[in-house]
Structure 1
Amino acid sequence: MDKRFISFFTHSKDIFFVMDMSGVILHTNPSFRQLFNYTEAELLGINIADICHPADKERRDESVGRLVADKQLIGYQSRVKAKDGCYYSVTWSILLNDDGLIYSTGNPVVGVPAKSGPASDDIVQHTIQSLTEGFIVLDTGWNVLAFNPAFQAMANLDESQIRLSRFTSIESLGLTPRVMDELERSLTNKQALQVQYLNTFCNSWLRMNVYPYHNRLAVFIRDITEIMLQQWVLALEKKVLELNATSRYTLAQTTNELLMGIEGIFPEMICSVLEVDDAQEKLHNLAAPQLPKNYCDAIENLSVGPHVGSCGTAVFHRRQVIVSDIENDFLWADYAGLAKQFGLKACWSTPVISSKGSKVLAVFGIYYNCVREPNDSELQLIGRTVNILRVLIESKRNEENILDQNNRLQSIANISSHELRRPVATILGLVNLFDKDDILNPLNKEIIAHLDTSARELDDVIHSIVEKTLYMRVNEAEIYGEEVKGGR
């Protein structure tokens, strides 16, 4: 830190701190520590983001870019958390110095809680300032009379821009005629209401809680995109599980419905599911609603291996494989040209492992037409989808196994009632014809020959029954991942 600043800011009544370009605090003055009630040791080395309000993050990230470009920021406002958990709104003047350090001086905004004990108005003001929801007050001409930092972050405007703008002209809110009609109705009827809508400007869902007071409206605005996505995913899972419970839908049809639902919720996703053969060596297309047919045909019968794109590798290693840039990833060295033909630039693949963990049943793949990595919400979706796919695949295979067993049991019953009875009846009849009084009777020799033939026929029938029974045991064990003990 430049020594010329130390003496001045040590005695300044303004709050002051120095941080590096990554946001790590290097120095604070006594006024800073006194206002927020931290010791110098508690602040030294922590990142400024750790004591700033979460709702200010996006605006803070944008301010860094402006600071790098302009070397200074004047009038930047943020909320800083004191040691007791209270947030103070501060207006900052920020300078990026030639030494690569960031120097910030600030003044608390009037109305934040005082250390000696805030009055009721101060408590209300502090609560509004600390909300992660946007808050604004509007008059009948849709002028913004008051707002909190969360709304400022949502609007992506500085304080002066908001004060000079009418609410209806703030593009980042994506206001629709229906929303404005609802606000007008609340103002006219003096009735509180709630309205939610898709903000097409930033592709997010917003919910407004509107409260009229005299000729003004107090409006709380919340981003509910995550809530809406969770509701849609739950509804999709319910629908798919209900379809799976009916015999009218095949596994491929049900899986296709699941993937189409996901692509409807996340329009940029291109989903696919490849089944893995019993030998765990080859992949076969099960469902891929949006993938080009020519691409699906090209990867049909794809081998499992340690460097076979995302899907083949995920099955080989039995773990998730995230490839954010197909063109420059060694796993796609042999397949990048194919992906490029169809504009596929990223692929995330996750194996669907059986409930007993013995086999990989399938692999769930997500493609993108741009280079990108998954965020936390997408990783959660992938995990849920893999669980649903496991249920779909195992339940359908169980159904097929039960049907096959029923057919085999019916076959065994038919063998027992017809093919088994015939040689037994023949043997019994021949035994009755055997001349016990005259062992040397020539007829006995023929009877013994017929008995031998019938006994061999009976042995073949019994062998067939044992084989069918053993197959049922083996097939069931494979489905549940168990070891078959014993044999014929």
Structure 2
Amino acid sequence: MLCRQPMDTRFTSLFTHSKDIFFVMDMDGVILHTNYAFRNTFNYNDEDLADLNIAAVCHPADKERQDESQASLLIHKKLIGYQSRIKAKDGCYFSVIWSVILNEDDGLIYSSGNTLAGMIGQPENDIVQHTIQSLNEGFIVLDANWDIISFNPAFQAMVNVSLNELDGANFMEIKSLGLTEKVESEFQLSLTCKKSIQVQYLNEYSNSWLRINIYPYHNQLAVFIRDITEIKMQEWILELEKRVLELNAMAQYTLVQSVVELLTGIERIFPDMICSVLEVDDAQERLYTLAGPRLPQDYSNQLEGLSIGPNIGSCGTSAFHRKQVIVSDIENDPLWADYVYLVKPYGLKACWSSPVMSSKNSKVLAVFGIYYRTIREPNDDELSIIERTVNILRVLIESKKTEDNIREQNNRLQTIANISSHELRKPVATILGLVNLFDNDDLQNPLNKEIIEHIDTTSQQLDGVIHSIVERTAYIKAFGADA
């Protein structure tokens, strides 16, 4: 018997002799004790269970519900009828109904459970049964009246309805699915025309996108339901990036317009985000607003010329250290101690800032800042979009700067051409004319002295023109070396 920490003696006898599945874990989810029924059911030995976290053997689709249940356990100290799927050593999943107690005396969590026979009305074939049980997608079978004949644990987790409530429930009446009239009509069409159908829709109840595949069989429907919110977000982000890069390539679009288009698109995908981009000056000393479509204008005005330094909010600090700065609670973070008064009137509670480094990593081009009106830290999706946005901003800023440099280079080349064709030709022509007037037969001719003086003056003018050309050429060479 796995046993690494003394447990409450009141539970020892029950733990040892119970035919129910029984295990004890600490507050971090590390399994400390198991009984014979646990090891026998899931085929684990003591070595397999050493330092094992319960999360490692729970089905991935149950994670969100598991987090919610853990929060409820901390409040109520017990859970009755909690269902989850546990992975056995051979990879098969067992659905288990648990009774869970948090014992405050020893700070341990005691769980006892019984395996379910499986999905209600599930097929007899073991392979099909195991596959359906293990799916991350919700699976149900409906009759012609839309009553649920059978379902798998993933569907139950998706709709967050108890086992008893789902048994024989009417699919169309499950509120958490947020079914629309269009979706309901697709079900009717599939049943009537015996036609397989796929439909996607926004579930406004949970603000998530669902994809439903409907397969008719005799007078029943087999239905697979998948949450595709993440897939849809990736599609939207790719579409946004493509559009912004295309716009930025157009000469008539300024950098500000391109960045505003990018930030507006991100805020549509992530409605709680308030995005901004602060550009860094050439001296790498100050920040200036490039774009912030939803940031309060009065607040943006106060950021103009903000210094870069080690304790200057999120953006100033990010630019100074050249690394991401996550401030989840502005009001209580020392980085904002001298600036919290700026954001308080606008209800901004969190600010995450990331530097946009040049492609050679030699300087900070800008800082991408995200504000929230709630205290919070970024999740994986938000960290991903931040990284992608920083990369896009680098491309936008550097491409426009390159365009500006090329335009400046062309202007200088045009100036050189104008100097060569006009300003340079004039003194050269003057010198040639004066040389022709020079009296070679009578070197003492007084006019020769005047001609030499004119040649000297014109030569100095010519030297000034050549110097101007050299200066402009040097700039072009320097630009070429930087590029």
Q: Would you say same fold, with TM above 0.5?
A: yes
SS at match of 1:406: helix
Aligned mates of 2:254, 2:481 — CA distance in 1: 23
**1:183 matched residue in structure 2:** 187
The equivalent of 2:301 in structure 1 is 297
The one-character-per-residue Cα deviations of 1:152-190 (angstroms, maximum 9, x if unpaired) are: 111122212323643233222222221111112212222
The 2-side partners of 1:145 and 1:58 are apart by 26
Give the letter for the 1:95 counterpart. Answer: I
2:388 partner SS: helix
Counterpart code for 2:372: Y
Structure 1 CA distance for aligned equivalents of residues 110 and 310 of structure 2? 51
Per-residue Cα deviation, 1:70-124 (whole angstroms, up to 9, x for no partner) = 4433332211111222212222232333433222222222249xxxxxx961221
Residue of structure 1 in register with 2:250 after alignment: 246
SS in 2 for 1:439: coil
1-structure distance, mates of 2:312, 2:39 = 57
Out of 158, 163, 168, the residue aligned to residue 167 of structure 2 is 163
Task: Identify the residue that residue 222 of structure 2 maps to in structure 1.
Answer: 218
Alignment counterpart, residue 111 of structure 2, candidates 71, 92, 104: 104
- Matching residue within 302, 313, 318 for 1:309: 313
Measure, in 2, the Cα distance between the counterparts of 1:51 and 1:249.
Answer: 53
Quote the Cα distance in structure 1 between the aligned partners of 2:346 and 2:99. 50
Rounded to whole Å, the distance in 2 between the matches of 1:209 and 1:459 is 81
TM superposition shift of 1:477: 4.5
Counterpart AA for 1:83: K
| Deviation per residue, 1:401-438 (Å, 9 max, x gap) | 11211111111011111111111122222223333344
The equivalent of 1:399 in structure 2 is 403
What is the 5 A alignment of 1:134-149? 134-149=138-153
Contact 1:111/1:122 (8 A) holds in 2: no
What residue number does 2:394 align with?
A: 390
Q: Is the 8 A contact 2:260 2:292 kept in 1?
A: yes
Query: Is the 1:111–1:126 contact (alpha carbons within 8 Å) kept by the matching residues of 2?
Result: no
Shift of 1:240: 0.8
Q: Does residue 198 of structure 1 match 2:205?
A: no
- For structure 2, which runs of at least 5 residues remain unmatched after alignment? 1-6
Matched, 1:95 2:78: no
Partner of 1:51: 57
Taking the aligned partners of 1:68 and 1:276, their CA distance within structure 2 comes to 47
- 1:345–1:66 distance in 2 versus 1, CA, 3 Å: closer
Kept after mapping to 2: 8 A contact 1:347/1:366: yes
Tell me, yes or no, if the aligned pair for 1:206 and 1:223 is still in contact at 8 Å.
yes
Q: Which amino acid aligns with 1:239?
A: R
Equivalents in 2 of 1:68, 1:144: separation in Å?
Answer: 34
Query: For 1:433, which of 423, 437, 440 is the aligned residue?
Result: 437
> What RMSD, in angstroms, separates the aligned Cα atoms of the two structures?
1.9
Structure 2 CA distance for partners of 1:8 and 1:296, relative to 1, 3 Å: closer
Task: Find out whether 1:258 has 2:265 as its counterpart.
Answer: no
1:442 to 423, 435, 446: 446
Change (3 A) 1:302 1:65: closer
In structure 2, the partner of 1:25 is 31
Judged with a 3 Å threshold, the aligned counterparts in structure 2 of structure 1 residues 276 and 72 are, in CA distance, closer, same or farther, namely: closer
Deviations 1:225-258 (A, max 9, x none): 1100000011111111111111121111111111
C-alpha contact 2:149 2:168 (8 A) present in aligned 1: no
The answer (yes or no) to whether the contact 1:401–1:476 under 8 Å persists in 2 is: no
SS of aligned partner of 1:445? helix
Tell me which moved more, 100-109 or 265-274: 100-109
The corresponding residue for 1:280 is 284
| Aligned partner letter, 2:142 | L
- Relative distance call for 1:320 and 1:471 in structure 2 (3 A) is same
Describe the shift of the 1:341–1:111 C-alpha distance in structure 2 as closer, same or farther (beyond 3 A): closer
Q: 1:68/1:240 Cα in 2 relative to 1: closer, same or farther (>3 Å)? A: closer
Q: Distance in 2 between matches of 1:187 and 1:302?
A: 64
Structure-2 change in CA distance of 1:127 and 1:438 (3 Å): same
Offset at 1:8? 4.8
1:468 has 2:475 as partner = no
Give yes or no for the alignment of 1:335 onto 2:339. yes
SS class of match (2:371): strand
